[in-house]
Amino acid sequence: MLGLEKIFPKKWNKVLIFWGRRKSVKIWELEVNFLSRKIRIKDQVNLKSPTGENFNSEQIINILKEALSSSKKNNYFLLFLERPFLKSTLSNFSILRDNPLIAIEESELENLILNLTWRLQDREKAIVARGLGISEMDLALISSVVKDPTIEGRKILNPLGFSGRRIGFTFENSYSSKDFWSELVKIITTLKCETKIISEDNLIYDKTLSALDEKGVFVFLDEEETKIGLMGGFLKASEKFNWGGKNLTAVIAREFGVSLQCAKSIREKYIQGEMSIGAKRWFEKIFAPELKILAEGINLIVKNFFEGEKLHPEIWLNGEIANFPKVAETLKSYTWSKSIFKKKPIVSHYSSDKIFAKINIDIDDKYAKNSDFDAILAVFLANLFLPESYNPDLNKILRRRLKWIR
């Protein structure tokens, strides 16, 4: 840089990220330099819900208020909520034009987008309301983004001036209950920083995986779910299923007749090797059926990824449960379908440090050096404030419609 960085000091922006889940709340304070794409994790807080209970909407609102009041002045705030608080959907939707030979004008484009969003909301609302545990009458569409326009299946930057019969878009919609959303609005409108609200429904993990250029199958194992991505130089597909560390904890609780909290403590001692050889072998035996379920779940999803061309024979493990004893061994010994992989897949751990290196993060503090997957997520969440590649003019139409709906 010819020493210019000394003349023009780096501009670090303060970013607060709030991640609300059913069982936990995570809060990060970051410093982000969007020009150099460097991120420093300055502080983080993890809150767990009471054993056997979920956080409710009122608790999430109260924790959010406390986090905002105790945090220093921020340039950006990102609110990241999972079901049952928010739900996002990602859908590809297309429509046939009446006059395919005539170039698309702005008025026609607006009518096409409104037509598609109306049809999409009608198609999604019953499923989304059921997922959030509310009635369709209580459902509110709180944000909608349209991007990746296509004509006859080919991506273009902006459809205006183009002709063609079939025009399509990718829609990213976020929904919530009206009451919960109204409480959030009261908080958000008082903030003086740029704010974004998103919901994880594989979307965040898709963004994370999309930054990697590996080939094979990525498996992210956390406490609640297992998320799987098919890689081939970029993310080709991703799915998740309901298996995580909680399943292993439940096995201990059932065998010993103890609470889940006590069972998790025993699980941690087993992971750390604080047991005799005999006890270790006994635990391996009781965990074996659960680990087999994990392997079978991964196998089913991998079969869904298969579309005629055999997959690259590599399985990468990452996440909170990736280092659980015998996980890698179970997957290595599993009989994978020869018709899906080119040969028997190699199973190995994917270092979080490699992900940090790919996304150009400053690892200069105690949180980043831990290289946990939560820190990786925090980095990608902060990066959501970087300019998007889609045409912002397309979304003016949706913003007008959202005001009308509310």
Beta pairing class for 215-221 and 314-318: parallel
Beta pairing class for 314-318 and 235-241: unpaired
Q: Is the pLDDT of residue 393 over 80?
A: no
The CA distance from 36 to 22, in Å, is: 35
pTM for the predicted model, two decimal places: 0.64
CB atoms near residue 39 (< 10 Å): 29
CA 130, 134, 135, 137 dihedral sign is negative
Residue 143 confidence (pLDDT)? 78
Cα separations (Å) of 405 from 139, 140, 402?
Answer: 11, 8, 5
Residue 174 confidence (pLDDT)? 84
Q: What is the pLDDT of residues 309-330, one digit of tens each?
A: 888 999 999 888 888 999 999 9
Q: What is the mean pLDDT of the chain?
A: 80
Q: Is the pLDDT of residue 406 over 50?
A: no
Beta pairing class for 154-155 and 139-151: antiparallel
Q: Is the pLDDT of residue 375 over 50?
A: yes
Residue 372 confidence (pLDDT)? 52
Q: Is the pLDDT of residue 20 over 90?
A: no
DSSP per residue, 82-142: -TTT-EEEEEEEEEE-S-TTSPPPHHHHHHHHHHHHHHHHHHHHHHHHHHHTS-GGGEEEE
Least confident segment among 103-107, 220-224, 386-390: 386-390
Residue 201 confidence (pLDDT)? 52
Residue 346 confidence (pLDDT)? 94
Q: What is the pLDDT of residues 253-287, one digit of tens each?
A: 999 999 988 998 999 999 988 889 999 999 999 99
Average pLDDT over residues 51-58: 80
Q: Is the pLDDT of residue 362 over 70?
A: no
Residues 6+ apart with CB under 8 A from 251: 286, 287, 290
Residue 360 confidence (pLDDT)? 59
Q: Is the pLDDT of residue 246 over 70?
A: yes
Q: What is the pLDDT of residues 186-210, one digit of tens each?
A: 888 888 888 877 775 555 566 666 6
Average pLDDT over residues 124-129: 88
Delineate the domains of the chain, giving CATH numbers in brackets.
4-84+182-201 (3.30.420.40), 89-174+389-405 (3.30.1490), 215-349 (3.30.420.40)
Question: With bands split at pLDDT 50, 70 and 90, how would you rate the model's confidence at 347?
Answer: very high
* Higher per-residue confidence, 273 vs 356: 273
Residue 8 confidence (pLDDT)? 47
Residue 388 confidence (pLDDT)? 45
